[in-house]
Structure 1
Amino acid sequence: MEQDYIKLIFGLKLKQIRTDKELSLFGLSKLTGLSKSYLNEIEKGKKYPKPDKIAQLSEKLEVPYDEMVSLKLDKNLAPIGEILQSKILKEIPLELFGIQESTMIDIISNAPSKVTAFISTIIDIAKNYNFSKESFYLASVRSFQEANNNYFDDLENAVLSFAKTYQVNLKAPVKSEDLEEILVEEYGYSINSTELESHTELKNLRSVFVPKTKTLLLAKHIDDAQKSFIYAKEIAYNYLKIKERLYTFSWIKFENFDQVLNNFYASYFAGALVIPKARLMDDLKDLFSKKSFKSKDFERIINNYNASPESVYHRLTNILPKEFNLKSLFFLRFSHQKGTDDFVLNKELHLSKQQSPHANESDEHYCRRWASLRVLKEISNSGNAHEFDIQISNYPSEDKSYLILSSATADPFVADQYRSVCVGIQINNQFKRKVAFAESKSIKKTDVGVTCERCAISNCEVRQAKPTVILSKQMDDKIASVVDELQKKYSK
């Protein structure tokens, strides 16, 4: 263990022994002959006493010396000991949120019993929901994105600098062959598009990078947009001089948090390169200036770039908050297997914590009135390459409405599986000022919920389950009301 943690554990034990014996720091000072300030430094984990001082504390407190120096904690402090010994504080990206490790240690030492209860709760939740280290890292990056409105000026500027240095024309669609030439000529890459095909275990991977020989193995059946994005990510790793990185796309596992964060940085750079900010802003200004919304106008924007619909939707979450001040928005990605009624939410981003739908409800049914689920049903039946839908989703329980844009495409790696992405923008005064078609009657309005179990909408034609959460609350309210009446009746 690190010396700082050993000091902290000793301090926690000394404080617990002192409080168990109903001694103040002043009282312990009188008992042991050690100064109050010195004892306070020990309890806060800032100093570790010399053996003769430990012996002095051991004798006066009537606690065996070996017990005093042992790193074993009793059950009340054991979770803190586990956290410290696991070095999880080293793994948690505290610095990402402006928190110093010393601050966390101070919090732990000042309120050990409460912090222990909190840590135990977090551990239980993590176990019950199978919350892995990778999940924690991804949640941390997502919170980092949300805290910055998912816009990073340094990465936007890096793309502009790269384009100028390598004479990449950002006013026209970026071609994969141009990016491949840069990788090969400038960064010494070798591109192989046949190797992965001979390994059935790797059928869901789009690329594998071999750093020793700078060989990029590509899946043979990816389209040009996917190839461009992969090339752009590889350029990002090199141009941004990123060392800690992932070598597969999609990722298999993360070894540390830096890999997760750098994967996000490289993806952001790639999105900004293939969907340049200036071009997208012009497209959106043109779209928002129209008095009525036409699907072909938005689909034209998607087709303007050598990028997947998902990449365009991701890019909207960068540009809308920064350049149009539309910060109350969310992004969702669902997957769906044809012939089933299962919809899996596997990616989400909320730039305002208040938005619905928020988080994955365990064993509950997502609202089938959502555009993002409807386009999945439509594409699985139609077999089209792309399905698009738009609606205004009203959440009656929250008195909020969102403009929802959603696209569905086939998963190129899994037969009969489809993916949808959507962006929801809250309809508020800012939205109405920026978007001319904000109140267009051509856009259908639909009352929606989050999950069927939590939805109070009556006579829903696509309901998958009874509103059990609401019914349970109503029953609890009735019971509480009767109890209140009895309290009043027999209190007279």
Structure 2
Amino acid sequence: MQEDYIKLIFGLKLKQIRTDKKLSLFGLSKLSGLSKSYLNEIENGKKYPKPDKIAILSEKLDVPYDQMVSLKLDKNLAPIGDLLQSKILKEIPLELFGIKESNLIDIVANAPAKVNAFISTIIKIAKNYNFSRESFFLASVRSFQEANNNYFEDLEQSVLKFAKAYQVDLDQTVRSQDLKEILVEEFGYTILDNELSNYDALGKLRSLFVPKTKTLLLSNEIDEAQRNFIFAKELAYNFLDIKERLYTFPWIKFDTFDQVLNNFYASYFAGALIIPSAKIKAKLSAVFEKDTFDANLFLEAINSFNGSPESFYQRLTNILPKAFNIQNLFFLRFTHKANSNKFYLTKELHLSHQQSPHANETNEHYCRRWVSLQKLKDISLGNNTHEFDVQISNYQDDGVKYLVLSSATKDPFRDNHYRSISVGLLINKQLQRKLNFLEDGNIATQNVGVTCERCTITDCKVREVPAIFLEKKAKNENMAAIVATLSSKFS
């Protein structure tokens, strides 16, 4: 049994006994002759008293010595013991959000029955929605990103230090061959290009790193942009001296939260290396300064970097809040199979507050008026390798509008599958000051909802299913009105 666990259990039991006897810490100090600060440390699980001190507490509180030192908890504290023994607190990245484990335990100890009921409720909800441990970790990282406006100055500076140390010219396009040379010459990597493709079961796995021999296995189906990103991530792991890491891209499984967090750090570093801050800021400024939206100029900005459109859009979520003070934005990634009416939201990020377009886990139909879904449909029916459009999405029910930029490309690892990446910027006075082209009449405005099942647009010609939730709400409101009328009539 861990020493910390024993301390915590004794502290919780002492606190419960003291409060049951209506004693304050000061009162127990006077009764036992032990200092108030010492007793407080015991209750917080920081100290375990010596046998003679336990004997004093046992006598003064009229509780048998054996009961005091027993690790068996009564029914009120039993859930806390289960919680501590399950090690779930070790799984939760408390320190990431500035929370001390002792503080959380204190909260639980003050109202064990209510907190236990709350925890049980969360677990039941998670099970009902198939919310896995992996989902929890990913949601935690996403919240961490949102809390920091998805901008990390220390990682930006690390990229500049790396570029200086290895003479990488960030004003020029960063090439995979240059990054490969650093991996091989500086960090002793062996890179094999064709091995993964010999195994059909590996599917869309793009890379596998074998740490013992520093061998990096690559799929021969990856393009230059993907190769560049993989090499940049490997350099991040080495330059940032990250030990706790994932070894496949994309990940198959992970064992600890640190692996998930470090994967994010490495991905951020890679994006900042391939799409340097100074260069993308200059490209965006050129687009924003025009009085009309120049789609070709925006696409030229994407193509000026040796990265995928997704990397570019991800980088927008780093740069726009910091460099342009555009902080109300969202990022969405959808996937779609040709000739299917299903669209899956596989990644999302919301800065400042939860935006109107958001993931739905109950198989509802996302609004077909979203530009991200329109572009997916266009690319699946045509022959283009990249579909792009811009739209002003008007969420009438919420009273907000977003400027949405969206790109759709083919999924290189799955036949007849496509993906779209979108960034939406909340239209407010701040955005109007930053984007000269915002009044461009050529940008289409579309009234949109979130899902068909909850949409109030009555004349929608692309609706997949009726607004069943709104119909049910209206029916209930009508029933409530009739009940109120009858109650008034016969009261």
Alignment TM-score > 0.5, same fold = yes
Cα distance change, pair 482–292 in 1 and its aligned pair in 2 (3 A)? same
Corresponding residue for 2:371?
A: 371
How far apart are the structure 2 equivalents of 1:57 and 1:476? 60
Between stretches 112-121 and 374-383, larger displacement belongs to 112-121
Fraction of identical pairs, as percent = 64
How far apart are the structure 1 equivalents of 2:385 and 2:191? 28
How far apart are the structure 1 equivalents of 2:204 and 2:463? 33
Cα distance change, pair 67–123 in 1 and its aligned pair in 2 (3 A)? farther
2:215 maps to 1:215: yes
Cα distance change, pair 59–470 in 1 and its aligned pair in 2 (3 A)? farther
SS of corresponding position for 1:353:
coil
- Shift, 1:62, TM fit: 8.4
- Shift, 1:195, TM fit: 0.9
- Gaps in structure 2 of 5+ consecutive residues: none
SS of corresponding position for 1:238:
helix
2:268 maps to 1:268: yes
Corresponding residue for 2:22?
A: 24
Give yes or no for contact 1:329–1:350 (8 Å, CA) kept in 2: yes
- TM-score normalised over the length of structure 2: 0.92
Corresponding residue for 1:129?
A: 129
- Shift, 1:203, TM fit: 2.6
Map 1:1-400 onto structure 2 (within 5 A): 1-13=1-13, 16=16, 23-25=21-23, 34=32, 37=36, 43-48=43-48, 69-400=69-400
Give yes or no for contact 2:379–2:409 (8 Å, CA) kept in 1: yes
How far apart are the structure 2 equivalents of 1:94 and 1:360? 27
What amino acid is the match of 1:372? Answer: S
Cα distance change, pair 78–486 in 1 and its aligned pair in 2 (3 A)? farther
How far apart are the structure 1 equivalents of 2:226 and 2:92? 32
Between stretches 368-377 and 52-61, larger displacement belongs to 52-61
What amino acid is the match of 1:396? Answer: Q
Give yes or no for contact 1:25–1:39 (8 Å, CA) kept in 2: no
Give yes or no for contact 1:43–1:109 (8 Å, CA) kept in 2: no
- Shift, 1:2, TM fit: 3.2
How far apart are the structure 1 equivalents of 2:41 and 2:151? 43
- Shift, 1:352, TM fit: 2.1
SS of corresponding position for 2:209:
strand
- Shift, 1:64, TM fit: 7.2
How far apart are the structure 2 equivalents of 1:457 and 1:64? 70
- Shift, 1:81, TM fit: 2.2
SS of corresponding position for 1:185:
helix
Give yes or no for contact 1:453–1:467 (8 Å, CA) kept in 2: yes
SS of corresponding position for 2:191:
strand
Give yes or no for contact 1:189–1:216 (8 Å, CA) kept in 2: yes
- TM-score normalised over the length of structure 1: 0.92
How far apart are the structure 2 equivalents of 1:90 and 1:383? 50
Cα deviation code 1:348-394 (max 9, x no counterpart): 10012231112334221111111111111111111321111211000
How far apart are the structure 1 equivalents of 2:43 and 2:167? 61
SS of corresponding position for 1:25:
coil
- Shift, 1:233, TM fit: 0.7
Give yes or no for contact 2:77–2:109 (8 Å, CA) kept in 1: no
How far apart are the structure 2 equivalents of 1:417 and 1:123? 34
How far apart are the structure 1 equivalents of 2:486 and 2:61? 54
How far apart are the structure 1 equivalents of 2:53 and 2:154? 53
Cα distance change, pair 344–75 in 1 and its aligned pair in 2 (3 A)? farther
| Alignment RMSD | 2.6
Between stretches 464-473 and 285-294, larger displacement belongs to 464-473
How far apart are the structure 2 equivalents of 1:75 and 1:464? 51
- Gaps in structure 1 of 5+ consecutive residues: none
Corresponding residue for 2:407?
A: 407
Between stretches 92-101 and 418-427, larger displacement belongs to 92-101
Give yes or no for contact 1:206–1:222 (8 Å, CA) kept in 2: yes
Cα distance change, pair 220–330 in 1 and its aligned pair in 2 (3 A)? same
How far apart are the structure 1 equivalents of 2:223 and 2:308? 9
Cα distance change, pair 140–398 in 1 and its aligned pair in 2 (3 A)? same
What amino acid is the match of 2:285? Answer: K
SS of corresponding position for 2:347:
strand
SS of corresponding position for 1:191:
strand
SS of corresponding position for 2:397:
coil
- Shift, 1:450, TM fit: 0.9
Cα distance change, pair 162–54 in 1 and its aligned pair in 2 (3 A)? closer
Cα deviation code 1:162-210 (max 9, x no counterpart): 1122221211211111111111111111110011111112231111111
Between stretches 159-168 and 36-45, larger displacement belongs to 36-45
What amino acid is the match of 1:316? Answer: L
SS of corresponding position for 2:291:
coil
- Shift, 1:11, TM fit: 4.1
Give yes or no for contact 1:179–1:232 (8 Å, CA) kept in 2: yes
- Shift, 1:320, TM fit: 0.5
How far apart are the structure 2 equivalents of 1:478 and 1:64? 63
SS of corresponding position for 2:344:
strand
Cα distance change, pair 108–418 in 1 and its aligned pair in 2 (3 A)? same
Between stretches 45-54 and 85-94, larger displacement belongs to 45-54
Cα distance change, pair 76–102 in 1 and its aligned pair in 2 (3 A)? closer
How far apart are the structure 2 equivalents of 1:57 and 1:417? 69
- Shift, 1:441, TM fit: 0.8
- Shift, 1:112, TM fit: 2.2
Cα distance change, pair 242–15 in 1 and its aligned pair in 2 (3 A)? closer
How far apart are the structure 2 equivalents of 1:226 and 1:122? 38
Corresponding residue for 2:447?
A: 447
Give yes or no for contact 1:375–1:388 (8 Å, CA) kept in 2: yes
Cα distance change, pair 219–61 in 1 and its aligned pair in 2 (3 A)? same
SS of corresponding position for 2:437:
coil
- Shift, 1:478, TM fit: 3.1
SS of corresponding position for 1:438:
helix
Between stretches 49-58 and 96-105, larger displacement belongs to 49-58
How far apart are the structure 2 equivalents of 1:130 and 1:52? 51
How far apart are the structure 2 equivalents of 1:27 and 1:253? 47
How far apart are the structure 2 equivalents of 1:293 and 1:386? 18
How far apart are the structure 2 equivalents of 1:66 and 1:487? 63
SS of corresponding position for 1:273:
helix
How far apart are the structure 2 equivalents of 1:482 and 1:12? 54
